[in-house]
Amino acid sequence: CYCRRGKMQIFTILTLSLLLKEAVCINLTYIVKKEGEKLQPNCIADENERYAAVGWVYPLPEKEDNLPNITTKFIPTIRNGFDCKFSKNDKCNKIWALKNWEIDENSTRTLDLIFDSRWEDFPTISTGIGGKEFKDRVEIPNVFRAGFSLRASDGVELLICQGWNPYNYPCYHLAMGKREIILRKYTTLPKNISSSDKILDSYTAFANISSEDEWRNFIINLDDNGVLSLNDVNVNRTAIQYEDKEVLKPLYLLVRSDQPAVWKIHQNQFIYTKTAQTSRLGPILNLPSKDLCVALYVSTCSNCGMTFMMMKDNQRKILKDVEPTQEFEWRLIKLKAEHILSNKLNIFVETRFVNNSGNVTEGFWAVDDVRVCHENEVKITFLKLKEGDESAEDISCQVVQHPQWRPQKLVYSKIKDFPTIDITPNSTSISLNWTQEDPKNKINYFITYQANDLCLSEPFNLRRIKSNGFLMTKHNEITINNLIPYTKYNISFTSMLHENEMNKTVTTLETELPTPEELPNRIQIRTTATQAYVSWDKVDCTSIYGHILYSMQVINLDTNIIRELDVQTENTVEINDLQPHTPYTFNIITARSFENIQSKTNTIPMSYNLTTQAGTAPAVRNLELYSVDNNSASFRYDLPKKPGGIPAYIQATRCNLLTFTKCRSSVQKITRCKLWPKKYCLDINNLIPNQQYTFKISIKNNQTQYYGNETKADAFTSERTPGPPTNITYKIVDCEDALDYCHLNISWLHPYQQNGTITSFHIVLNGTDNNTTKVIQEVLTVNNKTYLPKYETQIKVIPYSAHYELYVQSANSQYKSGFSNIHVKTDDLGEHINQAPTLQESSPTSLTFKLPPLDRRLKSYTLTTIVQDFNINKEVASNVLKTRKVADNLCHNFGDTWVLPEIEISESNNLENVVIGSEVETNKYLEPNTQYCITFIVTNKYKNSEHDVVYYKKLKTSKGSTKSSDKADSSGSSHNHLYVLLLLLLLVPVGFLVYRYFKKRRPRAKQQENRENVYESLPFEECEDNSVNNETYDQLLHK
């Protein structure tokens, strides 16, 4: 802020002078740009001065055509339909028509002295520079108070007349000279005014009353008492005050001068109401920003207040409370709010009485110059001079209310065109850089920006609409941050040195990744047998933040074949050449560019599963006519490998020579074969015997209309020889331990090549031994074609150790199949009796086993005992391996191995024990603490035949050092059980006596009355005699 020092001298009678320096700080800058001899002046008002009246001071021209043009604007320049100055014939007056509000166009309040920015809108009236006399007339009421501003090089005249022509109507005449003001009154204005004309009042000043170098301000007033007064506002002094007894009723105010002068008669229209109420303030406000800023002027009566409010989230939010203003005062207020999400806003105003107004019903509330503003706005006034202008020293701007204040002055002589601006955008910011114009950085640059919405109709993207702002800098670079990606911005670049602004259109870069709103949403997939139609919602314009490309691929889940589709921008795709009833994965990749898709960077994939509909089924595979009889035919088949759906129905068309022109068709559900679950079967009944048929078989998929290709088969209806059974097996079951026989279970599979009807199966069992029954025959009947995959029957009472040949054949009423046979060997008796020796006694060097008794059904049995340790480093002796029976039944093929002498058990030699580790040859001592495996080979002699049964025992000898010590320990320990027995005999009587003693001392408990809660005994506390006794089980009762 530049401070001008003005000097004021006060002279006293004693010729004493005193110099007083007064410094005033203002936010006003006067800039002159010189282009040769041509000047381009402008004036920048900031802070408080931006809303004050700023006037230009320049040499008054001699001709009216040489008057300069003056333009004023606020930066940022916001044009909004909500703005209104309420001037006469202003277009906004209609949309601002409010109930009980009206526009004042002719009352004395429209002539109020005004020192705010509205002063600059008043028309400039020039006099004394040619042109018609009294060409500018200002209508006034009979009683008025009017303000006017004046710059004059010499005296001027102000007339207040009862008519439009002073030469024909009575007027008050004010002659305002340099230092003198004279008031006269004329019935009609004479052509030449004489100094001898009657003077009503006069005023002489010590200093100039008017000046060419600054604007002076006055108020002319005619009250209802007939008092006419002229006030010099600059010195706050009443210059003229005259009470006229014969007061005129003026209608017009007129001005003239002999020398050049410029006037501004303060004429201002406004909207007002006299009613206390709540009204909507003007039309709906289209809010261009997220912050609200509305500037307006208000004036009220002394007991009138105003409240401005808005509706936010269905709640009233007060924007501003206005207290009463002083008389003739206009007050600038701002309605402000932050973070408003809506783009449309209603503002309301409440006019109310304050200060206990009592029964007052009429007041005064006025509003003027409503304008959507910016909190940091700046006002610039441009002066356009005509040809032959003066130097920069003769031009300046001033705050009209304070003519003595002077702005800071800056002169630039080398700047011509607008500087070149380099623009660098990214997704959320735009950087601006331009040529340096002012090395001292005293010039402000103003940047305004406004986003353009991609949406051409509602709903709009409020985020984009409200992305705007205003920035100011004194440097030659600036960055606009917090912008919206992929948005076109209108950027206006203004400086103090250039009247015209430079406009640029810049689009921010798109986001690297597509946003969630840009991804395919609400995917809809519609399929046919060979096509798929995929669509999704088109991305709304409010959600687009870059180019959107879709890359798609279809993956066959059965074959894993990937099929790439073309890259596109549309939201629909048609996929052809698909396989019927096949699962697919549909992948859609969203990206910003084709390069991103190729490099697989900054992409977002999405996957969806789809299955094509079923198509027409192919022909069946491997169709076989596996059985025919007089009245039916049976088919066996496989489904196609790729049926193109779910096969559901099979159609069989049969034709014969008798009714070839009338083929009959039948439809059945597709069913698996009961006999062969992996196959599918079809039975066709009600055929005519002894006829040649042609069958046509086709299938249809579920949810389809048409059958597929047909497969033909020919057959002649007659009885045929059935096919033989297959896969005959047998099992020996239910062998009796006490008797000499078992039962034989026989099973076989149904003939795969059945050929003809089967009504029974014949089973023949032929004995091949001399002691067995030669022939056993059985018949298994099959009723009503109740075929089974597997058949079973049982032949009872089959002796042990017998050999048979088993034969099975299929049969019907006319034919029998060939036999299928298998050799049968029944079990040996030894397989069903336990002949394993049991360990009887163990010592460190020997083991004693108890031999099983001889079964009554055996003649005798022979026991072969093989002993092996687990020394893997020693091989089995070759003499042991000479005997095949021994070599084939060893525990393992290593270790120290020896065979004990065979023992034969018979009725005459009923040996009970076998000892391993005696001093007999080939039966050497065992090693202490050593693991052994004992093999017992029992060779049974049953009905003139022999069979072996093998048992294995793995055990470890006990610890011991020598044989002598083992014997001593054995002999010593052989008497230990006698001492234990003697101890038990002593303890039992003593325990019984102690039990009887305590039992007599304890009183018997009374039996409880409620017997439902008394348990007679615990589980397993008492047992019957036939209970099982086993160390590994609890006692269980046999019920």
Angle at 870 between CA 865 and CA 875, to 5 degrees: 85
Whole domain around residue 886: which residue ranges?
834-962
The confidence score (pLDDT) of residue 246 equals: 92
The confidence score (pLDDT) of residue 572 equals: 95
- Domain membership of residue 671 (yes or no) is yes
CATH number at residue 926: 2.60.40.10
Average pLDDT over residues 380-406: 81
- Domain membership of residue 258 (yes or no) is yes
Domain check: are 841 and 944 in the same one? yes
Helical (H) or strand (E) element with 599:
helix 594-599
pTM assigned to the model: 0.61
Compute and round to an integer the Cα radius of gyration of the chain. Answer: 63
Domain check: are 132 and 240 in the same one? yes
CATH number at residue 256: 2.60.120.560
Residue 319 · residue 310 · CB < 8 Å: yes
Confidence of residue 161 (pLDDT cuts 50, 70, 90): very high
Confidence of residue 4 (pLDDT cuts 50, 70, 90): very low
DSSP state of 494: E
Q: What is the pLDDT of residues 540-578, one digit of tens each?
A: 989 999 999 999 999 999 899 999 999 999 999 999 999
Q: What is the pLDDT of residues 77-135, one digit of tens each?
A: 888 999 999 998 889 999 999 899 999 988 999 999 999 999 999 999 999 887 778 88
Domain check: are 145 and 217 in the same one? yes
pLDDT-above-90 percentage for the chain? 54
What CA–CA distance (Å, rounded) separates 224 from 143? Answer: 6
Domain check: are 664 and 743 in the same one? no
- Domain membership of residue 613 (yes or no) is no
Instruction: Tell me which of 1030 and 245 has the higher pLDDT.
Output: 245
What CA–CA distance (Å, rounded) separates 601 from 592? Answer: 10
Among 210-214, 485-489, 1005-1009, which is the least confidently predicted range? Answer: 1005-1009
By DSSP bridging, strand 69-75 and strand 331-337 are: unpaired
Domain check: are 682 and 576 in the same one? no
The residue behind tokens 């002649």 is: 716
CA distances from 115 to 71, 296, 706 (A): 17, 15, 94
Confidence of residue 429 (pLDDT cuts 50, 70, 90): very high
CA distances from 780 to 452, 729, 804, 809, 811 (A): 94, 16, 19, 10, 10
The pLDDT mean for the chain works out to 85
Maximum distance among all Cα pairs of the chain, rounded to whole angstroms: 190
Domain check: are 789 and 813 in the same one? yes
Q: What is the pLDDT of residues 316-339, one digit of tens each?
A: 899 999 999 988 899 999 999 988
Q: What is the pLDDT of residues 206-259, one digit of tens each?
A: 889 999 989 999 999 999 999 999 999 999 999 999 999 999 999 999 999 999
- Domain membership of residue 1025 (yes or no) is no
What CA–CA distance (Å, rounded) separates 605 from 907? Answer: 90
The confidence score (pLDDT) of residue 25 equals: 62
Residue 532 reports pLDDT greater than 70: yes
Assign residue 457 a region: left if phi > 0, alpha if psi is -120 to 50, beta otherwise? beta
The confidence score (pLDDT) of residue 975 equals: 53
Instruction: Tell me which of 232 and 772 has the higher pLDDT.
Output: 232
Mark which of 915, 939, 962 sits at the end of a domain.
962
Confidence of residue 1019 (pLDDT cuts 50, 70, 90): very low
Convert 60-72 into a string of H (helix), E (strand) and C (coil): CCCCHHHCCEEEE
Mark which of 716, 744, 769 sits at the end of a domain.
716
Confidence of residue 393 (pLDDT cuts 50, 70, 90): confident
Residue 22 reports pLDDT greater than 70: no
CATH number at residue 314: 2.60.120.200
Confidence of residue 1002 (pLDDT cuts 50, 70, 90): low
DSSP per residue, 762-815: EEEEEE-STTS-SEEEEEEE--TT---SEEEEEEEEEETT-EEEEEEEEE-SS-
Confidence of residue 390 (pLDDT cuts 50, 70, 90): low
DSSP state of 596: H
Among 171-175, 617-621, 763-767, 833-837, which is the least confidently predicted range? Answer: 833-837
Residue 817 reports pLDDT greater than 80: yes
- Domain membership of residue 967 (yes or no) is no
The residue behind tokens 């079923």 is: 614
DSSP per residue, 169-198: S-EEEEEE-SSEEEEEEESS--SS--TTS-
Phi and psi torsions of 932, nearest 5°: -130, 155
Going by C-alpha positions, the residue among 529, 874, 895, 844 that lies closest to residue 708 is: 529
Confidence of residue 439 (pLDDT cuts 50, 70, 90): confident
DSSP state of 141: -
CATH number at residue 68: 2.60.40
Confidence of residue 466 (pLDDT cuts 50, 70, 90): confident
Average pLDDT over residues 981-989: 77
Domain check: are 353 and 455 in the same one? no
The confidence score (pLDDT) of residue 737 equals: 66
Instruction: Tell me which of 456 and 238 has the higher pLDDT.
Output: 238
Residue 264 reports pLDDT greater than 50: yes
CA distances from 540 to 242, 398, 459, 506, 535 (A): 75, 53, 10, 22, 15
Q: What is the pLDDT of residues 872-907, one digit of tens each?
A: 888 888 888 888 888 888 999 898 888 888 888 888
- Domain membership of residue 69 (yes or no) is yes
What CA–CA distance (Å, rounded) separates 376 from 76? Answer: 9
Average pLDDT over residues 487-509: 88
Average pLDDT over residues 22-40: 73
Phi and psi torsions of 203, nearest 5°: -150, 135
Domain check: are 403 and 430 in the same one? no
Among 261-275, 629-643, 764-778, 841-855, which is the least confidently predicted range? Answer: 764-778
- Domain membership of residue 350 (yes or no) is yes
Domain check: are 368 and 389 in the same one? no
The confidence score (pLDDT) of residue 261 equals: 93
The confidence score (pLDDT) of residue 417 equals: 77
The confidence score (pLDDT) of residue 908 equals: 78
The confidence score (pLDDT) of residue 1033 equals: 30
The confidence score (pLDDT) of residue 567 equals: 94
Q: What is the pLDDT of residues 793-807, one digit of tens each?
A: 998 888 888 888 999
Domain check: are 632 and 503 in the same one? no
Among 160-174, 451-465, 682-696, 706-720, which is the least confidently predicted range? Answer: 451-465
Domain check: are 315 and 333 in the same one? yes
The confidence score (pLDDT) of residue 1038 equals: 29
Residue 970 reports pLDDT greater than 50: no
- Domain membership of residue 14 (yes or no) is no
Confidence of residue 657 (pLDDT cuts 50, 70, 90): confident
Domain check: are 146 and 248 in the same one? yes
Mark which of 240, 265, 290 sits at the end of a domain.
265
What CA–CA distance (Å, rounded) separates 263 from 49? Answer: 22
The confidence score (pLDDT) of residue 1015 equals: 32
Domain count for the chain, please give it. 8
